[in-house]
Amino acid sequence: MSDNDGKKTLGLRGGARPGNVKQSFSHGRTKNVVVETKRKRVVVPKPGAAKPGGGAAPSGDPSRRPAGISDAEMARRMKALQAAKAREAEEAAAREAAEKAREEERARRRAEQEAKEREQREAEERARQKAEEEERKRKEAEEAAKRAAAAPAPEEPKAARAPASKPAPAATPRKQDREREQRGRGKGRDDNRRSGKLTLGQATGGEGNRQRSMAAMKRKQERARQKAMGGAVEREKVIRDVQLPEAIMVSELANRMAERVADVVKSLMQMGMMVTQNQTIDADTAELIIEEFGHKVTRVSDSDVEDVIKEVEDSEDDLQPRPPVITIMGHVDHGKTSLLDAIRDARVVAGEAGGITQHIGAYQVKTDGGTTLTFLDTPGHAAFTSMRSRGAQVTDIVVLVVAADDAVMPQTIEAINHAKAAEVPMIVAINKVDKPDANPDKVRTDLLQHEVIVEKMSGEVQDVEVSAITGQGLDELLEAIALQAEILELKANPNRAAQGAVIEAQLDVGRGPVATVLVQNGTLRQGDIFVVGEQYGKVRALINDKGERVKEAGPSVPVEVLGLNGTPEAGDVLNVTETEAQAREIAAYREQAAKDKRAAAGAATTLEQLMQKAKEDENVAELPILVKADVQGSAEAIVQAMEKIGNEEVRVRVLHSGVGAITETDVGLAEASGAPVFGFNVRANASARNTANQKGVEIRYYSVIYDLVDDVKAAASGLLSAEIREKFIGYAEIREVFKVTGVGKVAGCLVTEGIARRSAGVRLLRDNVVIHEGTLKTLKRFKDEVAEVQSGQECGMAFENYDDIRQGDVIEIFEREEVTRTLD
């Protein structure tokens, strides 16, 4: 823009020169003039121009309207301004009305509160006056009764008698009004001071209705009566039944007796025990304290937590028939599992390593006649003695399987003993009668030696000839079992909390701890909370012997239970509890009790025992091992077999045994102890294998228990010191003694028996008594040094560092050899 566009130069007053006017610029219709003085630059607005702050000129004067604003826009702005002012006025009026209403409401509430408090004060004052009037009348009546009961003595002056019989003057009505007015005035001042404040009692509506209870009024009157009678106010002694555990803290004892802790501590100090409230005292001392304070003692122990699972006797009306539990027992390879396979029409043996049963299996079978039978198949190897023992403890009938071509064997005898110890009936199944060399009569005859008399030998024990291959005699065997079960009249109560026995337990990779439980009483349902041994849990799932999930399991039904917090021991008893807290408490108590028992069993109680144990450990070589198995029963059986290996010189020590795969922790423990790891039907995971290769830890895998036991025996045999044996090879008789210069005495001998060797050891016998044992210095035949001399020949012998030889002495020649020893 040029300087001449819409601009013009103005002349200024006050001596300003034309050269001082810099420029002028226009705003619509008005113009501003810029004047530069020597000190500053000044903008001089022209009269009627808009202010720089943007203030608009009044709309009535078009010449004063801001530049660029139309008439319609200006009218709209003015209308909006008037509407805003109207709204402000309305809101101010509404606020004033609301404030006035709130003030009126506060005044109303304050007046109501004051009226309520005034009524309350008046009611309290009336009650107090009434109580004082009753108290005054009662005192006057008591005083009158006393005066009537006590006859005055004639010699006692009337002036001395008057103060005792004259009742206390009652307060005059004017004095009472004055005291009431003072109390009301003081309380009124306090009420006036707090009249505008909202208290918690007013907010909850409880302050105005608060009154003294009738019990409090009676207690107050009783205290006043006791005080007026001159007697001390004593509280009635409350005798309590105090539950006393084996050890209790002093403060807890005082709390259970409802006595002061200081009194209990004082009583203990008087007995000579300087204790504080946080110290623990034994049950006997606590019982003395309880009796001293006049309370009754009820002794309890930690084992009382198991009272919740005590067995309850069922009535006869609740009992219902249940299937029998049959245990198959017998020697290895006598066909127990094959016989059960034929009954179940399944193939179980195919899954067993080496063709032998390694675990206890539980199965249910329904016969053609509709009878349900529960079978337990126990291993027959000697290492599984404890597992067979558990099978006999939960069973109703024992089926003793004896091979007709093998007769009675050691494990057969053991099974007979288990059945007799369990006091359960026995049925003898003579298996393999289809073989050509089968001799069932020999089996019956051999059983007579163990007091088992079968029916064919005029006894009471049923015997059935069967063949698992051809199926011969299976129907007769099932009939015999059904007959025996009918005689037993087996019953149980399904409508109660479940109780069962753990047949087997294992740690499954995908499912966690799994226990095979045979329900003995009650019904086990999904969702039940239970405790089993040192473990507890909640039933997440129940799986029957066919692999199907079921909702519940009644008596004599074997199921797999999922939901345990740990792997229980095979043979533990499962009990259902009401709450999880009870189950957890019982499991914790059992775990602590087992830990204390183990500690007590391995601890030396006296110094002599400690020294003896240290001496024994010093003389005995140990072979440490770690054992991991697939199920708990196998691990337990292997540990028991390891304990039997060894003698007074060497023994096997199982550092750790458990179920599940071999982990890196097991390898670390084995490496620290220098022990090998034995896996029975389990394998090491990848990290454990890598760690074992790096640290040089040996891991061995087994699927048959025979091989594991034999290898451990061989390894333990290597710790035995070699046995030194002496072998007598000849005798020589001294016929003459010669003295040789530079050699000493030389015996001229005749070899009477065997052979004499230069390298052998010799003993000098005089009158059949050994007087010297050593080696030969020289052995000569004529003048030549020889290695040996045969029987019947003469020779010269000289002893090493010994010259006391005589004619007629006998020289015994022998050799020593080392024999490697093995454990039987």
Q: Residue 524: is it exposed, middle or buried by C-beta count within 10 angstroms (0-12/13-18/19+)? A: buried
DSSP 250: H
The torsion of the CA quartet 14, 16, 21, 25, rounded to 10 degrees, works out to: 10
In terms of phi and psi (left: phi > 0; alpha: psi -120 to 50; beta: otherwise), the region of 817 is beta
Q: Which helix (H) or strand (E) holds 738?
A: strand 723-740
Distance CA 601, CA 593 (A): 12
pLDDT at residue 154 tops 90 = no
Note the pLDDT of residue 153. Answer: 45
Report the pLDDT value the prediction gives residue 183, as an integer from 0 to 100: 59
Grade residue 156 by pLDDT with cuts at 50, 70 and 90: very low
Q: Which two tokens stand for residue 715?
A: 């390894």
113, 203 Cβ separation under 8 angstroms:
no
Tell me the C-alpha to C-alpha distance, in Å, between residue 438 and each of 310, 402, 471.
Answer: 51, 11, 16
Q: What is the mean pLDDT of the chain?
A: 77
Query: Which residues, 6 or more positions from 820, have their beta carbon under 8 angstroms from its beta carbon?
Result: 717, 722, 723
CA Rg value for the chain: 55
Tell me the C-alpha distance between 416 and 451, whole Å. Answer: 9
Is 366 in contact with 345 (CB distance < 8 Å)?
Answer: no
Where are the alpha helices (H) located in 423-551, listed in sequence order?
440-448, 474-488
Buried b (16+ CB within 10 A) or exposed e, 42-56: eeeeeeebbeeeeee
Task: Calculate mean pLDDT across residues 62-71.
Answer: 68
DSSP 206-230: -STT----HHHHHHHHHHHHHHHHT
> Taking a C-beta distance cutoff of 8 angstroms, is the pair 805, 772 a contact?
no
SS3 (DSSP) at 62: helix
For residues 813 and 775, what is the distance between their CA atoms, to the nearest angstrom?
9
CA angle 529, 530, 535 (to 5 degrees): 125
Read off the pLDDT band of 146 (50, 70, 90): confident
Give the pLDDT of residue 9.
40
User: Is residue 392 predicted with pLDDT exceeding 60?
Assistant: no
Does residue 57 register a pLDDT over 80?
no
What is the DSSP pairing of strand 535-543 with strand 529-532? antiparallel
Highest mean pLDDT of the ranges 1-10, 178-187, 394-403, 719-728: 394-403
Q: Give residues with Cβ within 8 angstroms of 233, minimum separation 6.
A: 223, 226, 227
Q: CA nearest 379: which of 362, 361, 392?
A: 361
Identify the pLDDT of residue 268: 92
Which range is least confidently modeled, 36-45, 291-300, 402-411, 602-611? 36-45
Q: Token pair of 266, please?
A: 């004082």
pLDDT average, residue stretch 198-218 = 64
Question: Against a cut of 0.75, is the pTM above it?
Answer: no
Beta carbons of 506 and 631 less than 8 angstroms apart = yes
Side-chain half-sphere exposure of 506, counting CA atoms within 13 A? 19
Q: Are strands 650-659 and 320-321 parallel, antiparallel or unpaired?
A: unpaired
pLDDT band at 193 (very low <50, low <70, confident <90, very high): low
Please tell me the distance from the alpha carbon of residue 167 to that of residue 144, in angstroms, as a whole number.
Answer: 9
* Band of pLDDT at residue 92, cut at 50, 70 and 90: very high
CA 368-374-378 angle, to 5 degrees, is 125
Give pLDDT, residue 233: 52
Taking alpha carbons only, the member of 308, 304, 286, 275 closest to residue 242 is 286
pLDDT for 84 equals 93
Q: How confident is the model over 578-601, as pLDDT tens digits?
A: 888 888 888 888 888 777 776 655
How far is residue 400's CA from residue 386's CA, in Å, rounded to a whole number? 17
Give the distance between the most distant pair of CA atoms in the chain.
Answer: 174
Mean pLDDT of 64-80: 81
- Which residue, 397, 359, 446, 235, is CA-closest to 633? 359
Region class of 702: left (phi > 0), else alpha (psi between -120 and 50), else beta: beta
